Amino acid sequence: MSGTVIEDETLKKALIIGAAGFVGNYLINHLALDKGMEVYATKLAHESLENENAKVTDLNILDKQEIVDVLFKIRPDYIFHLAAQSSVGVAWKNPSLTIDVNIKGSVNVMDAIRELYYKPRVLLIGSGEEYGHIKPGETPINEENNLRPGNIYAATKACQNMIGSIYAKAYDMDLMLVRAFNHIGPNQLPMFVVADFCKQVVEIEKGLREPVMYVGNLKAMRDFSDVRDVVRAYALLIEKGEKGETYNVGSGHAVAIQDILDLILSKSTATIKVEVDPAKIRPVDVPIIEADTTKINKATGWKTEIPLEQTIEETLNYWRSKINE
């Protein structure tokens, strides 16, 4: 055992908190395979996470002592805080859960890190939704723009960002913050728009449902990036980001949900009718969200590389392989 520790001491240790979600496996693989790091990952007890590139442990971020125990055991160089209730739809239905996980949980993580005898580099993951109601002339939106959150999820992430900025300055923590815009790709849950559309199309192709797609607001414009580009950004920021600073992570180009749908339908083998489902319309929806990515590009050289069309094609093929006729 001691031999293994000596061998691993030359490697940077990365801890991903909340790795059972969509981004977790992609980040594990990127850090382990592309960056050569020793990766640790946490999940909730009821979640499943199987990845040979990470050592996985259970962790509930609402229990601060659990976080302290994990940190002292692993002693990570880098900490990626991914754990969140990240669905806008769920946030409308369950605000108190969203507040507990996204604000109280994040404060527990930061407090636990503060108790360490050394200063790991920390990346707190927020959302482009924090900007909320964007005024004419503010697009593409930069990190200095006023935050006007338009939903419960966005408000909790804006709060996490403000608290994180204060911790970085007040406690001299080596902590960077991200506002990640919409990221998509294979293996995303269908509570998110692109995965939802692709899953519906494949079910229609396979004759599992009538040839009608049910959609929400198609006029909204969002900034979509491939999840593999996004995890590259996270890794670069934890290496090169400046403490206390917030960075947008996005493509820098907003696309209408209608155009996304048209692209998905153009790649389908079925003839499909589209109908609006009132249940999919959010109580408040922001018309356009588009990132100004100048800051992250200057700090790290990062920009998106994977075209939207490729991501959609691969997401469709993921559902085609997952859904059996």
Same domain, 161 and 115: yes
Predicted local distance difference test score (pLDDT) of residue 325: 53
Taking the CA atoms of residue 142, residue 309, residue 237 and residue 66 in that order, the dihedral angle to the nearest 10 degrees is 110
Tokens of 313: 């094609």
Place of tokens 């909340």: 18
Same domain, 142 and 211: no
Place of tokens 């996490």: 160
CA 239: distance to chain centroid? Answer: 18
CATH at 149? 3.40.50.720
Same domain, 74 and 148: yes
Same domain, 158 and 212: no
The pTM of this model reads: 0.92
Quote the CA–CA distance of 268 and 312 in Å, as a whole number: 11
Measured N-to-C along each axis, helices 257-266 and 193-205 cross at an angle, to the nearest 10 degrees, of: 30
Same domain, 277 and 317: yes
Same domain, 122 and 241: yes
8-44 core/surface letters (b: 16 or more CB in 10 A; e: else): eeeebbbbbbbbbbbbbbbbbbbbbeebebbbbbbbe
Widest CA span of the chain, in angstroms?
A: 63
Consecutive H or E run containing 67: helix 64-74
Predicted local distance difference test score (pLDDT) of residue 10: 79
79-118 core/surface letters (b: 16 or more CB in 10 A; e: else): bbbbbbbbebeebeeebeebbebbbebbbbbbebbeeeee
Predicted local distance difference test score (pLDDT) of residue 283: 66
Same domain, 126 and 63: yes
Same domain, 26 and 173: yes
Same domain, 123 and 260: no
Same domain, 47 and 99: yes
Predicted local distance difference test score (pLDDT) of residue 217: 85
Spatial CB neighbours of 2, under 8 Å, sequence gap ≥ 6: none
CATH at 262? 3.90.25.10
Quote the CA–CA distance of 4 and 15 in Å, as a whole number: 18
Task: Give me the number of domains the chain comprises.
Answer: 2
Domain that holds residue 66: 2-184+226-250+294-300
Q: For every one of its 325 residues, what pLDDT tens digit does the chain have, with 9 covering 90 and above?
A: 334 334 456 789 999 999 999 999 999 999 999 999 999 999 999 999 999 999 999 999 999 999 999 999 999 999 999 999 878 888 999 999 999 999 999 999 999 999 999 999 999 999 998 998 888 889 999 999 999 998 999 999 999 999 999 999 999 999 999 999 999 999 999 988 999 999 999 999 999 999 999 888 888 889 999 999 999 999 999 999 999 999 999 999 999 999 999 999 999 999 999 998 888 776 656 688 899 999 999 999 999 999 999 999 999 999 999 997 5
Please give the span between the terminal C-alpha atoms of the chain, in angstroms, as a whole number.
48
Same domain, 82 and 199: no
Same domain, 151 and 209: no
User: How does strand 221-223 pair with strand 254-256?
Assistant: antiparallel
Measured N-to-C along each axis, helices 308-322 and 193-205 cross at an angle, to the nearest 10 degrees, of: 50
Tokens of 184: 């998509």
Predicted local distance difference test score (pLDDT) of residue 5: 38
Predicted local distance difference test score (pLDDT) of residue 90: 87
